[in-house]
A and B are shown apart, each in its own frame.
Chain A
Amino acid sequence: MSMRQMELEVMRYDPEQDDEPHFQSYSVPCEDDWAILDALNYVKENIDTTLAYRWSCHMMVCGSCGMMVNGEPSLTCKTFIRDLPDKVRIEPLENFPIERDLVVVLDDVMEKLRMAKPFIIRHDEPPPEDQEYTQSRAALYKFKQYTMCVNCMCCYAACPQYALDSSFIGPAVLALAHRYNIDSRDQGKSERLDLLADHDGVWECSFVGACSEVCPKSVDPAAAVQQMKIDGAKEWWKQKLGGGKS
């Protein structure tokens, strides 16, 4: 396996010492098949143990290692150096406060996850405890792609609306709410409506689709938002005309 010398320009920030974030450069001998995360781990083990970043699974599912790589929100365990120039700039995810170095504060989105009511809500009794719901494959595939979100928050870093106004609920959470809305086992759509259709919800999305473009798991939050707008409008009219909850 051949080696390649890469220069990583990494954003550093320790709130106890620094007034402002700054860049620090590391020269890293990389193996051809490495991802950016491997290069960061090399730095941490061999050059500078003080560098702070989140990571765990190194297999694209835990969602910890979202960062900006040359300005693109990326999951660094699946961003390969073979696709990058010799000099790479690594920064914390945009649109979030920086906690330390490449670690961002996620409180806002973690709280919004709860607001989406991302669990099965039933008005009718569920089946007995030894009996499953029947769900056709077609019904499963309808919502399946929205279950793939790893909460890496790359879509928030890409979202122009969230950048303008962080009260906007944002792509991953809206997609998650939609995922439950269209699951054949769920009956909670109307309970999610109030939150999602109000001023911070779907209506704020300006539909540039940046969220779907950057998603490392090929989830399409933009499509979810679009669908919810249609649903929301229908529901709104229904409630207006029918004078009650559906």
Chain B
Amino acid sequence: MEKITADVVIVGAGGAGLRAAIAIAESDPDLDVALISKVYPMRSHTCAAEGGAAGVKGADDSLENHFHDTVSGGDWLCDQEVVEYFVNQAPRELVQLEHWGCPWSREDDGSVAVRPFGGMKKKRTWYAADKSGFHILHTLFQTSLQFPTIKRFDEYFALELLHKNGKCRGVVAMEMRSGRFFSFQSSVVIMATGGGGQCFPFTTNGAIKTGDGMAMAYRAGVPLKDMEFVQYHPTGLPGTGILLTEGCRGEGGILVNKDGRRYLQDYGMGPETPVGEPVLKTMELGPRDRLSQAFWHEQKKGNTVETPWGDCVLLDMRHLGEKKINERLPLVRELASSYVGHDPVTDPVPVRPVIHFMMGGIDSNLNGETPMPGLFAIGETACSGLHGANRLGSNSLTDLLVSGRRSAERAAEYARKAGEIPEDPAMTAQSEDVVTAIRELLQQSGGGESIAGIRREMKSTLEEGAGIYRDEEGTLKACEKIAELRGRYGKIEVHDKSNVFNTDLQQALELRNLLDIAETVAEASLERRESRGAHQRLDHVERDDEHFLKHSLAYRQPDGRPRIDWLDVTITRSKPGVRDYSGGKSE
């Protein structure tokens, strides 16, 4: 097996991985960076983000405001020193992107424009029409091309972490084109592999979002934090799960049920605001968890609209007019027209909640450090404690930049201290073991299980047992079922035996990763016996700060099942309070 050494290995070339790579290259041209990605960087799912990136801008807003919105939006499960650092750095990072050429939308005076977003008290979401993530990703990718020290390994699939005496030592990866294996040896690995929404059936997450980095870290003994917190976005297109950005509501779109009622006012987010004049932090601009939960109740009451793709509510944007829709929401118009045949200019568009974002991930801190020295985690694959129990829309794109740069500084320092990577037969042996396991997987046959079959069962299990609302019985059943599926995984067959671009094998490996993280989602949902943010229990309806103002940590046990432990939340200046989305009417 070929060995490649690098001062820093970054796994993942989405927004987070690219930002980190650039920061290292800029700050220390003596460090070589190996940037590994299972797809070409510009295919990374950051490209799908539509709405924008939050950072305080303008005199009427303050860092303090952004801090409080984030902490209360996260139902006080945020680590406040992380939030503090994040809101402080956000504007600088967004300006940096502007200097790198990001085509942000502009105000009349030529300054960068900001739009309202859910749960944010002020307009502070920087946007590039409704293709913000796409432009951020391409700007970062194109900017990265000027740095010779960033060596890319495009379409290399990372398989397993290498580690010794509790320290990270690299990663093993497979080149898709050739099926050859490579042992990347390094004292620093930055995991930037994105989320894992594909463990649910109905999701805005692309096919590549299979939680690989989380699963690799988990199997290497690193805990996954807050995995029970999975965000539903309230406005997905039925059928495909394609997202219609929160920007639709930020610009003034409204949600109505089958009777044309703006039902959010019935769920603590009223009183009703005038149509087309969105008021921040109330009604349609309430937080995502609340909006998705309101849908669930409307469906129970029979107030939803039946469509060929199941029950929906309607997102009405007609009053925005064609001009505004074309200027601010062109992609939304194209997506809704193409995929469900409803042009938002002339028709209300059917939507329903859809799995969107994982607040949980690899246990990390403000610096991206994980409990395993040498292993860093950033972006959606990490859980630094920024998002708490519910991420506010547009905080994530900014987090890619802030955590990307910060972790790069620390990782570079760590790499310089670690110095030369020693020749180590143990690492080569560990790498060989990974390869042997894959060769065995390729050869096994006759077990009678299929990849697609197990994947389908896993997805429906999580939706049923760990969806918008959960309870003891359902989550318990989900835990058992996923453990069973993990057992049955041993009987799958990979039919494709080719070394060249073997997507059958890739899907088998991704399924293994999905099963691992799905089990932590189910187990942590079972153990958190309270309701908080995106985690709502029908049998424990209140938030319980006395017992659960804590992060959950899922550790993998020798038998493969997770064990849940708890970690205190860092509270600095905002004591847990009530989340108020009445538009200030109840203050």
The verdict on A99 contacting B501 (CB below 8 Å), with A56-B208, A132-B98 known, is: yes
B101 adjacent to A180 (CB under 8 Å): yes
Bound Cα distance from A120 to B146, whole angstroms: 10
A100 adjacent to B47 (CB under 8 Å): no
B340 adjacent to A134 (CB under 8 Å): no
The B97-128 residues at the A interface (CB cut-off 8 A) are 98-101, 103, 105-106, 108-112
The verdict on A1 contacting B142 (CB below 8 Å), with A33-B340, A57-B48 known, is: no
- B239 interface residue per 8 A CB criterion: yes
B451 adjacent to A126 (CB under 8 Å): no
- B346 interface residue per 8 A CB criterion: no
Interface string of A38-57 (1 = CB under 8 A from B): 00000011100111111111
Most buried by A among B95, B131, B502: B95
B47 adjacent to A45 (CB under 8 Å): no
B110 adjacent to A49 (CB under 8 Å): no
A127 adjacent to B99 (CB under 8 Å): yes
Closest chain B CB from A135 CB (angstroms): 5
Q: List the A side residues contacting B240 at CB < 8 Å.
A: 58-59
Q: List the B side residues contacting A105 at CB < 8 Å.
A: 177
Selected from A61, A78, A131, A140, the residue in CB contact (under 8 A) with B106 is A140
Of B35-43, B276-284, B421-429, the one touching chain A: B35-43
Interface residues on B, range: 35 or more
The verdict on A52 contacting B101 (CB below 8 Å), with A63-B42, A119-B143, A129-B92 known, is: no
Selected from B111, B134, B501, the residue in CB contact (under 8 A) with A103 is B501
- A110 interface residue per 8 A CB criterion: yes
Closest to B145 in A: A114
Bound Cα distance from A201 to B498, whole angstroms: 38
Closest chain A CB from B71 CB (angstroms): 24
Closest chain A CB from B112 CB (angstroms): 5
Bound Cα distance from A110 to B41, whole angstroms: 11
Closest to A106 in B: B40
A62 adjacent to B47 (CB under 8 Å): yes
Bound Cα distance from A44 to B112, whole angstroms: 44
The verdict on A119 contacting B146 (CB below 8 Å), with A49-B495, A58-B242 known, is: yes
Of A13-21, A162-170, A206-214, A226-234, the one touching chain B: A13-21
Bound Cα distance from A100 to B501, whole angstroms: 6
- B268 interface residue per 8 A CB criterion: no
Interface string of B320-336 (1 = CB under 8 A from A): 00000000000100110
Closest chain A CB from B100 CB (angstroms): 6
Q: List the A side residues contacting B154 at CB < 8 Å.
A: 110
**Chain A, interface SS category:** loop
Selected from A15, A118, A136, the residue in CB contact (under 8 A) with B110 is A136
Bound Cα distance from A80 to B340, whole angstroms: 12
Selected from B40, B146, B495, the residue in CB contact (under 8 A) with A117 is B146
Q: List the A side residues contacting B146 at CB < 8 Å.
A: 117, 119
- B538 interface residue per 8 A CB criterion: no
- A186 interface residue per 8 A CB criterion: yes
A119 adjacent to B110 (CB under 8 Å): no
B95 adjacent to A132 (CB under 8 Å): yes
B109 adjacent to A134 (CB under 8 Å): yes
Bound Cα distance from A92 to B161, whole angstroms: 34
Bound Cα distance from A113 to B146, whole angstroms: 11
- A60 interface residue per 8 A CB criterion: yes
A61 adjacent to B47 (CB under 8 Å): yes
The verdict on A99 contacting B495 (CB below 8 Å), with A55-B207, A126-B99, A183-B101 known, is: no
Interface string of A144-173 (1 = CB under 8 A from B): 100110110000000000000000000000
Closest chain B CB from A20 CB (angstroms): 15
Q: List the B side residues contacting A99 at CB < 8 Å.
A: 177, 500-501
Q: List the B side residues contacting A133 at CB < 8 Å.
A: 98-99
Bound Cα distance from A84 to B109, whole angstroms: 47
The B160-205 residues at the A interface (CB cut-off 8 A) are 177
The verdict on A14 contacting B48 (CB below 8 Å), with A49-B451, A180-B101 known, is: no
Q: List the B side residues contacting A130 at CB < 8 Å.
A: 91-92, 95
Selected from A44, A45, A80, A147, the residue in CB contact (under 8 A) with B103 is A147
- B576 interface residue per 8 A CB criterion: no
- A185 interface residue per 8 A CB criterion: yes
B91 adjacent to A100 (CB under 8 Å): no
- B27 interface residue per 8 A CB criterion: no
Q: List the A side residues contacting B134 at CB < 8 Å.
A: 61, 150
Bound Cα distance from A110 to B145, whole angstroms: 10
Q: List the A side residues contacting B340 at CB < 8 Å.
A: 33
Bound Cα distance from A136 to B113, whole angstroms: 11
Q: List the A side residues contacting B331 at CB < 8 Å.
A: 60-61
A50 adjacent to B495 (CB under 8 Å): yes
Q: List the A side residues contacting B143 at CB < 8 Å.
A: 119-120
Q: List the A side residues contacting B272 at CB < 8 Å.
A: none
Closest chain A CB from B328 CB (angstroms): 13
Closest chain B CB from A194 CB (angstroms): 16
Q: List the A side residues contacting B105 at CB < 8 Å.
A: 140
Closest chain B CB from A196 CB (angstroms): 16
* Sampled A-B contacts (17; CB under 8 Å): A14-B498, A33-B340, A49-B495, A49-B496, A52-B500, A57-B48, A59-B242, A61-B134, A64-B39, A80-B338, A110-B154, A119-B100, A120-B100, A120-B143, A132-B98, A140-B105, A151-B40
Apart from A16-B499, A64-B43, what 14 extra A-B contacts exist at CB < 8 Å?
Answer: A1-B308, A56-B45, A57-B206, A59-B48, A60-B331, A61-B47, A63-B42, A63-B43, A119-B100, A133-B99, A140-B105, A147-B103, A151-B42, A183-B101
Q: Give B contacts to A, CB under 8 Å.
A: 39-40, 42-45, 47-48, 91-92, 95-96, 98-101, 103, 105-106, 108-112, 131, 134-135, 138, 142-143, 145-146, 154, 177, 206-208, 239-240, 242-243, 308-309, 331, 334-335, 338-341, 450-452, 494-496, 498-504, 507
Top-4 shortest CB links A-B: A134-B110, A50-B496, A100-B501, A118-B142
